[in-house]
Amino acid sequence: MGDEWLYSDGGRQRFNATTLQQYGYIIYPNNTISNYSSCVLAFGGYIPTVISNGSWYNSTGCDTPVRPIRTRGTIGIVTAIIFGIALVLSLVALNKHGKSFLPAEKRFRLVGRRWPWYWCIITASVGLVSGFTAVDVDRVWVLGTAAIFHFIFYLVTLPTCLAAVWEMTRNWASFEERKGVDEDFTMYRQDDLRSKIEFYEPLIFYLFNFLSFFLSILRAWNPIARSNSHVITDARFQASSVFSFLAWGTIVVAHFIARHYYRPKSIPWKIPVCLVLILIRIAFNIGSAFNYSISQLRYQATPAYIYCLGYLPVLLTLSVILYSGWKEPNEDQELLRLRNTRNETLDQEMSAMPDRKSIGKSGTERKPQTDRARRASHAPAHDYWGDGDHREPV
């Protein structure tokens, strides 16, 4: 008679063995019953009942939050709030830098300087969702939908933040070119090697960045939610982390190419700082893809790893971009200021130059002559009539 029953929760709950076997249900050591299509809790106060058609009533799903909130969830709420603040500041920066005060130019489109803030908005949004979904990761008995959303949006913050850093760097180079063209229209041609390199740079960056996104995000997530070590450290995650590093390297190369061609007087501090900060997150991704013990996708992972080495570099990178956006003026307004400065300098130079009428042929300034000196300088008039009555011309 005992063979007709299967037990869970230390023998305190029993289930019909024939029904469970007929529908492929297995009782696991963590006191859950699952056939990979449905999973229910079977311990303590969670007492499900299976009927002859294989369905359950009075059951609680394995991914239902049943535990109290823990460290990961508490820090996740704080992280989500910070991302929410970054989202608001990104919208403010977009409103400031996205305005136009000059006629539209085909060569320098307005949308080009809006893209850094678009990517900041996307990064802050996915970080906000990831932070709030972290609340239920430690509360569920078996990782499920909440963990999948948490990990997916966490991983998306890297390619979106990388795109924000890329657009910030590209926009800086574009404004250096714009300032040069505004001063001298023939300074930078549109058919030289520089322009060809700048055409292919974004294609290369977004190719690497998209491959990183595709390999890490667009895949089956149920094995990852179960913390399968072979899946978490498979070739796709490893290749994704390497492509992120190649995308980062593209930004570095593009930055040095821009410095070579435009020769700016100074380099904005935000570019090297952002590159160093986001490199920390990339290095953590590479380490997680090759070493299961520090993987941020592991259920048993220490929250300090994912928040200090995962979220914090992204938040600091966003903070640097937003702070620089708050301090720096709108590009059109800065261009108008530079024009006014050049005009004032030109006016001062023109006012300091002597009048052309007062300069002699030798380049020395003429001195005014008296009437007597002017009369003495004229040759004597010829006496055509011979009457001796000669008068000097007046």
Closest CA to 175 of 85, 105, 117: 105
Cβ neighbour number for residue 381 with a 10 Å cutoff: 10
Quick check: is 364 in a domain?
no
pLDDT value for 361: 53
Q: Average pLDDT for residues 43-57, to the nearest whole number?
A: 85
Q: Are residues 42 and 177 in the same domain?
A: no
Answer whether residue 332 is part of any domain: yes
Most confident of 72-76, 135-139, 272-276, 362-366: 272-276
Question: How many of the other CB atoms lie within 10 Å of CB of 108?
Answer: 17
Same domain, 84 and 10: no
116 — pLDDT class (breaks 50, 70, 90): very high
Domain-ending residue, one of 16, 33, 57 = 57
Whether 376 shows a pLDDT value over 80: the answer reads: no
pLDDT at 356 (0 to 100): 55
* 155 or 103, which is more confident: 155
**Residue from 316, 262, 268, 326 nearest 117 by CA:** 326
Averaged confidence pLDDT in the chain: 85
The pLDDT assigned to 382 comes to 42
211 & 251 share domain: yes
Residue 384 lies in a domain: no
Residues 51 and 79 in one domain: no
The phi and psi torsions of 376 (rounded to 5 degrees) equal -70, -25
The single residue listed with the structure tokens 């996708």 is 297
Q: How confident is the model at residue 172 (pLDDT cuts 50, 70, 90)?
A: very high
- Residues 41, 158, single domain; the answer is no
341 CA to centre of own chain: 33
- Considering the domain architecture, whether residues 97 and 14 belong to the same structural domain is answered as no
Whether 237 and 205 map to the same domain: the answer is yes
Torsion of CA 238, 243, 246, 248, to 10 degrees: -100
What tens digit of pLDDT does each residue of 310-330 get? 999 999 999 999 999 999 999
Q: Quick: pLDDT tens for 190-239.
A: 788 888 998 999 999 999 999 999 999 998 888 887 778 888 899 999 99
* 364 burial level (CB within 10 Å; 0-12, 13-18, 19+): exposed
Domain count, the chain: 2
Percent of the chain with pLDDT over 90: 40
Residue 143 maps to a domain: yes
In this prediction, residue 287 carries a pLDDT of 93
pLDDT band at 362 (very low <50, low <70, confident <90, very high): low
User: Which structural domain range is residue 139 located in?
Assistant: 71-344
Q: Give burial (CB, 10 Å; 0-12/13-18/19+) of 295.
A: buried
Q: 224 and 197 in one domain?
A: yes
Is 64 inside any structural domain? no
Tell me, yes or no, whether 255 and 215 share the same domain: yes
Residue 373 pLDDT > 70:
no
Please write the tens of the pLDDT for every residue from 29-48.
888 888 878 888 988 888 89
Average pLDDT over residues 130-138: 89
At 80 the pLDDT is: 95
Which runs of consecutive H residues, i.e. helices, occur in the chain?
17-22, 71-97, 115-133, 145-183, 193-217, 222-225, 229-232, 235-262, 270-290, 303-304, 312-327, 331-352, 371-377
pTM of the prediction? 0.81
Residues 6+ apart with CB under 8 A from 129: 80, 149, 153
- The band of 358, judged by pLDDT with boundaries at 50, 70 and 90, is low
Q: Which range, 140-149, 203-212, 344-353, 383-392, is most confident?
A: 203-212
Residue 309 in domain: yes
Long-range contacts made by residues 221-229, C-beta under 8 angstroms, separation at least 24? 221/148, 221/151, 221/152, 222/148, 224/148, 224/151, 224/297, 225/143, 225/144, 225/147, 225/148, 225/151, 226/142, 226/143, 227/143, 227/297, 227/298, 227/299, 227/300, 229/292
**pLDDT at residue 354 in the model:** 64
Same domain, 113 and 164: yes
- Say yes or no to pLDDT of 7 above 90: no
Q: Is residue 248 part of a domain?
A: yes
pLDDT category of residue 385 using cuts at 50, 70 and 90: very low
Instruction: Specify whether the CB–CB gap between 92 and 137 falls below 8 A.
Output: no
Query: Burial, 47: exposed, middle or buried (Cβ in 10 Å; 0-12, 13-18, 19+)?
Result: middle
CA distance 157 to 291: 21
Between these two residues, 135 and 388, which has the higher pLDDT value?
A: 135
Taking the C-alpha atoms of residue 226 and residue 144, their distance in angstroms, rounded to an integer, is 8
In a shared domain, residues 44 and 192 = no
Q: How far apart are CA 153 and CA 123, in angstroms?
A: 9
At 82 the pLDDT is 97
Q: If DSSP codes are grouped into helix, strand and coil, which group holds residue 316?
A: helix
Label residue 390 by pLDDT band (50, 70, 90). Answer: very low
Whether residues 284 and 200 share a domain: the answer is yes
- CATH number of domain containing 201: 1.20.1070
User: Percent of the chain having pLDDT more than 70?
Assistant: 89
Q: Are 287 and 294 in contact (CB under 8 A)?
A: yes
Evaluate whether residue 237 is within a structural domain: yes
